[in-house]
Amino acid sequence: MIADILPAAAESRFCESDPMSSALFTPLALAGTTLENRIVVSPMCEYSANDGVADDWHLTHLGMLANSGAALVVVEATHVARHARITHGCLGLYSDACEAELARVIAHCRRIGTAKFAIQIAHAGRKASAQRPWQGGGALTPGEDPWPTVAPSAIAFGAGWHTPRAMGEDDMAAARDAFVDSVRRAMRIGFDAIELHFAHGYLAHSFLSPLSNRRTDAYGGSLDNRMRFPLTVARAVRATAPRPLALGARITGSDWKDGGLTPDDAVVFAKALKAEGLDYICVSSGGITADTRNPGAPGYNAPIAERVRHEAAIATRTVGLIATPRQAEAIVAEGKADMVALGRAALDDPHWGWHAARVLGAETTMRRPPQYLRAAPQLWPGAAFTD
């Protein structure tokens, strides 16, 4: 009995509510995939691949997150071509070697973990050919093996960055086909969901934003024209990966810059993606220029996600300075989003989901590997004193 294990005088801040009252710990169906709760580990670039190929860093990193208590772990931005990578260390899914090693990693994570796995498919566009963050984070210098970059317009990401080549229709077709090829590889690996990276200033986002797209043809000008290339990619991917496989996209809720994309644009784009058959939207923001700075308030994307969720009527996830269980609970319970994505919070506390379940009184919903059951609060008195 718990009463026999925990000292009677111990007053825990955990288990303060009825288990059924937690919105964060209710299941959610996305196409053919059902998530056990609404916690998602956000895709986080590790910059630790070898020519796009995962290695033991990814085995350890993703294996750790597989038992975080999150229902879904999204593998970092995984690029559709060698020159579509952000850095020399970025993950790719454009070769048999990339596919084989990532399959090994995901098979391991499934053996040892409780989470389901998605993958984010990406093309870096004008933000490619960059240094790893801890090596400066700027454009690769001539001595660092840089490569040519492409974008909707020949406008550099910022001062000191490479000027990209404006893409022609053949380039766009090649990029679309590369997305499709990577998605086919992801399907063979067996991911539970696939996510298109249409945010953070990378290729698709750079087509959407008037700050980076100055084209005068059918791919520039009006929002309808600027959406044309990303929607072409979404359409081709959905045709390749029909339901029941869940398909989503991370989009930009705001460029946080005058003349850039706004929440109104995010709603329009989300509606268009839903019409192409996507099952969910993740609302992020920023990243369109080197000098863009996002707000610093906790959960700053949640109000935009709320608009997308209600006005586009599609399952919605949000990300951005979500750190505490009660904050995450409020976002879901108040209808701002159907899911929350955690990045840094999951790195800081790899068992964030377990701890959130205690705080929200939802311990009975949380699965753990049997090897870790001895740390459950019913079996370890120290859990009552966690602060």
What CA–CA distances, in Å, run from 64 to 29, 80, 258?
A: 25, 26, 40
- The owner of tokens 């350890």 is 60
Separation between Cα atoms, residue 98 and residue 45, nearest integer Å: 16
Q: Which of 202, 219, 280, 300 is catalytic?
A: 202
The verdict on whether 202 is a catalytic residue reads yes
DSSP, residue by residue, 293-314: ----STTTTHHHHHHHHHHHTS
Q: Which residues contact 105 (CB under 8 A, 6 or more apart)?
A: 54, 58, 59, 62
> Are β-strands 39-41 and 72-79 bridged in parallel, bridged antiparallel, or unpaired?
parallel
Separation between Cα atoms, residue 357 and residue 82, nearest integer Å: 41
Cβ atoms of residues 116 and 72 within 8 Å: yes
What is the distance between the terminal CA atoms of the chain, rounded to a whole angstrom? 23
Separation between Cα atoms, residue 283 and residue 248, nearest integer Å: 11
SS3 of residue 37 by DSSP = coil
Separation between Cα atoms, residue 252 and residue 212, nearest integer Å: 14
Cβ atoms of residues 53 and 99 within 8 Å: no
Q: Which residues are catalytic?
A: 202
